[in-house]
Chains A and B, each alone.
Chain A
Amino acid sequence: SQTIHQWPATLVQPVGSPLSLECTVEGTSNPNLYWYRQAAGRGLQLLFYSVGIGQISSEVPQNLSASRPQDRQFILSSKKLLLSDSGFYLCAWSHADTQYFGPGTRLTVL
């Protein structure tokens, strides 16, 4: 069966520090991968998606970037965090029509 992991589960970072969040998927190959951010107001915003290694599409301009160095690994990064980057970051994978979500990473920028 397929599983999706996110690391770390929680993170507290100062403004201006770098960021690296990791998402890995097991039990499947060549999945589509997605990064979402969920702000305190609850809605989910799609940040990035990837259909293959090295292929990244950005949905909204922002302070973040994404990379897919391996088939089942998706990384969300920032060189300098802003206060507004705080939120709950969710990774998801899909093969056909359904997306399955990871447990999320809670990021607090102080």
Chain B
Amino acid sequence: GEDVEQSLFLSVREGDSSVINCTYTDSSSTYLYWYKQEPGAGLQLLTYIFSNMDMKQDQRLTVLLNKKDKHLSLRIADTQTGDSAIYFCAESRVTGGGNKLTFGTGTQLKVEL
């Protein structure tokens, strides 16, 4: 089955690191994604990781994937107020209808001064 879970809220202080966690159930996922959604806006792709990788780093973002435990995390270093948003993880399956994504419920990150 397909189920992606995230905690609903995370609050951090500006300058600290944020870690947003996600668990998924579909072991056949090919890619896993992190999207960012600011209020009233669409989803912005932040980064993604192929399922045979353990880690991917892109500037302030670090993605860790534990495929055995089906656990994905997004670490944001030196969190800024502009990072306040909802963060969605998503897993993908390639089907006859293209690449279908299953999204988590999103984690609302609040950055405090």
**Which positions in A face B, CB cutoff 8 Å?**
6, 32, 41-44, 46, 49, 51, 57, 90, 92, 94, 96-104, 106
Contacts and interface: CB of A to CB of B under 8 A. Distances in A.
25 contacts: A32-B98, A32-B99, A42-B106, A43-B103, A43-B105, A44-B43, A44-B103, A46-B100, A46-B101, A49-B97, A51-B97, A92-B43, A94-B98, A94-B99, A97-B92, A97-B94, A97-B99, A98-B99, A100-B45, A101-B45, A103-B41, A103-B42, A104-B40, A104-B41, A104-B42
A57 B103 CA distance: 19
A71 B86 CA distance: 32
A49 B45 contact: no
A90 B43 contact: yes
A93 to B, nearest CB: 10
B98 A41 contact: no
A42 B105 contact: yes
A107 to B, nearest CB: 13
Contacts, number: 56
A50 to B, nearest CB: 8
Interface in B85-109: 86, 88, 92, 94, 97-101, 103-106
A100 B100 CA distance: 12
B90 to A, nearest CB: 8
Contact of A43 (B45, B48, B106): B106
Contacts of B31: 97-98
Given A42-B106, A43-B106, A44-B88, A57 B40 contact: no
Q: Which 9 A-B pairs have the closest CB atoms?
A: A32-B98, A101-B42, A101-B43, A44-B103, A103-B42, A43-B105, A42-B106, A104-B42, A97-B31
Best-buried of B33, B103, B104 by chain A (most CB within 10 Å): B103
B98 A90 contact: no
Contact of B44 (A41, A43, A101): A101
B30 interface: yes
B88 A98 contact: no
Interface in B42-84: 42-45, 48
